[in-house]
Amino acid sequence: MSDYDDTYTESQVIMTAVKIIAPFTLTYGLFMTFHGGDAPGGGFQGGTIVGVTVLMLAFAFGIEPTRQWLKNSVLTGLVAGGVVIFGAIGLGMIALGGDFLEFTMLKEVFHIKPKWGLEAVEIAGISLIVSGVIISLFFTMAAGFSPERPSGTGGISSADNAAEGPDSPVAEVGDDD
Amino acid sequence: MSLFAYSLVIFILATAVATVLFRDVLSVIIVFGAYSLGMAILYTFLLAPDVAMTEAAIGAGVTTLLLLLTIARTTRPTTDALRERIHVPAVVVVGAFVLLLCTAVLPDMYPVGSTSTPVWSNPDVTQHYITETYEQTGVENAVTSVLAAYRGFDTFGEAVVVFAAGVSTLLVLKREVFA
């Protein structure tokens, strides 16, 4: 991993441009997510733009500093949490007496528009998954393939890998410093 | 279709051909980004802003970044040639096939916005979503209501597919952490 950061060139132009643009793209992404019900856009598009904001920061200021600033638990929480929340909202409608994701139950039980169930799925489900996956794809691809890991070996060696899992990010950070 | 739309289609075709012809990988990625941007503008022109936003964000934005990252992490073959060598017999065969398809299919296509398109042939279904959406869901964007309410279960599957894409990247690259 010692040849890692030779892909990064510090450019005053890119850094300044990203500093100016990033607040706007983040706001636009959030706007698109929260306004998906009444305007074009929604969780998929808004989540992508929020994710792209982080990608732009990584391109301008180096991937490794951005990776250290963004914890793995945050990304795992975004990706897995989004799926869990989406499923939980669906199951919640069953708990209210309807079918999976049947938002009309909101109207019958709580007397609120089904719109809020729909928005909850878009904002707390889809956009979290999409933004998390976009950022994760970028960082996993930036980290690349390490051929020293054994491939196609199940059982014991995969258990070994799982055991050394918590240590590996620490070791990588140490290498890159 | 207006002059603008025609010139946009020509731009998209030109960038698509350039993507195939350029020899240098970096040039290909840049031209492909321009192609995606052209497609996004065309979708806007065809009154599909939701699709246009996805194409602009994913096609022109994320895909370009990921491809740039990929050539930064792998090798970029240096070459003096500007474009790929063209294999003439293959071009003739594929070109003849495309030309045949165009002459067979294009005359049967409906004009944009025509009321005789098959989409309108079943108004009970198509009009249902347009007229009932606000009443039933309280959402003004019919695309979102179909996506998240009427076809919510499909979208749940779609979201899980995105989740699976992230996990399978970890599997392929043999890593255990995202960041």
The pLDDT tens digits for A110-135 are 888 888 888 889 999 999 999 999 99
Contacts of A132 in chain B (CB under 8 A): 166, 178
Best of B162, B169, B170, B171 to substitute, by most chain A Cβ atoms within 10 angstroms, is B162
Is A67 among the domain residues?
yes
Is A165 among the domain residues?
no
Tokens 């290909």 locate to B28
Query: Is there a contact between A177 and A80 (Cβ–Cβ < 8 Å)?
Result: no
The answer, yes or no, to whether residue A80 has pLDDT greater than 90, is yes
The tally of domains found in chain A comes to: 1
Return d(Cα B152, Cα B157) in angstroms, integer: 9
Min Cα distance A37 → chain B (Å) is 5
The answer to whether domain B1-109 has CATH 1.20.120.1200 is yes
Q: Could you tell me the pLDDT band of residue A168, with boundaries at 50, 70 and 90?
A: very low
Highest mean pLDDT among A138-142, B11-15, B109-113: B11-15
Q: Could you tell me the pLDDT band of residue A106, with boundaries at 50, 70 and 90?
A: confident
In chain A, the residue whose alpha carbon lies closest to the alpha carbon of B134 is: A115
Tokens 């998906």 locate to A36
Alpha helices by DSSP H, chain A: 12-34, 43-61, 63-69, 72-95, 104-110, 115-120, 127-143, 156-163, 167-176
The answer, yes or no, to whether residue A155 has pLDDT greater than 80, is no
Q: Which long-range contacts (CB under 8 A, 24 or more apart) does B169-173 make?
A: B169/A136, B169/A137, B169/A140, B169/A141, B170/A136, B170/A140, B173/A140, B173/A141, B173/A143, B173/A144, B173/A145, B173/A146
Query: Is there a contact between A22 and A56 (Cβ–Cβ < 8 Å)?
Result: yes
Domain encompassing residue A58: 4-143
Task: Return the higher-pLDDT residue of B11 and A38.
Answer: B11
Of A82, A64, A60, nearest in space to A132 by CA: A82
Domain map of chain B by residue range? Answer: 1-109, 115-179
| Least confident segment among A138-152, B56-70, B123-137, B162-176 | A138-152
Is A153 among the domain residues?
no
The answer, yes or no, to whether residue B119 has pLDDT greater than 90, is no
Return d(Cα A110, Cα B41) in angstroms, integer: 42
The answer, yes or no, to whether residue A1 has pLDDT greater than 50, is no
The per-residue pLDDT for range A2-46, each reduced to its tens digit, is 445 556 778 889 999 999 999 999 999 999 999 888 888 888 999
Does the CB of B57 have a partner CB in chain A at under 8 Å?
yes
Is A148 among the domain residues?
no
Residue A24 is predicted with a pLDDT of 95
Residue A6 is predicted with a pLDDT of 57
Mean pLDDT (chain B, rounded): 87
Q: Could you tell me the pLDDT band of residue A146, with boundaries at 50, 70 and 90?
A: low
Task: Return the higher-pLDDT residue of B139 and B13.
Answer: B13
Look at residue B22 and give its three-state secondary structure.
strand
CB contact under 8 A, A140 and B173: yes
Is A44 among the domain residues?
yes
Task: Give the pLDDT mean for A144-162.
Answer: 51
Alpha helices by DSSP H, chain B: 3-21, 25-45, 49-54, 63-73, 88-105, 123-137, 142-145, 152-172
Contacts of A7 in chain B (CB under 8 A): 69, 72-73
Residue A38 is predicted with a pLDDT of 85
Q: Could you tell me the pLDDT band of residue B63, with boundaries at 50, 70 and 90?
A: very high
Mean pLDDT (chain A, rounded): 79
Of A70, A59, A49, nearest in space to A7 by CA: A59
Return d(Cα B163, Cα A158) in angstroms, integer: 22
Return d(Cα B174, Cα A149) in angstroms, integer: 7
Of B65, B167, B51, B176, nearest in space to A54 by CA: B65
- For residue B42, the one-letter residue type is L
Task: Give the pLDDT mean for B150-173.
Answer: 90
The minimal CB distance from A49 to the residues B57, B70, B143 is found for B57
Does the CB of B72 have a partner CB in chain A at under 8 Å?
yes
Is A149 among the domain residues?
no
The DSSP bridge partners found for residue B22 are: B83
DSSP state of A39: S
Residue A88 is predicted with a pLDDT of 92
Percent over 90 (pLDDT), chain B: 41
Reported ipTM: the value is 0.82
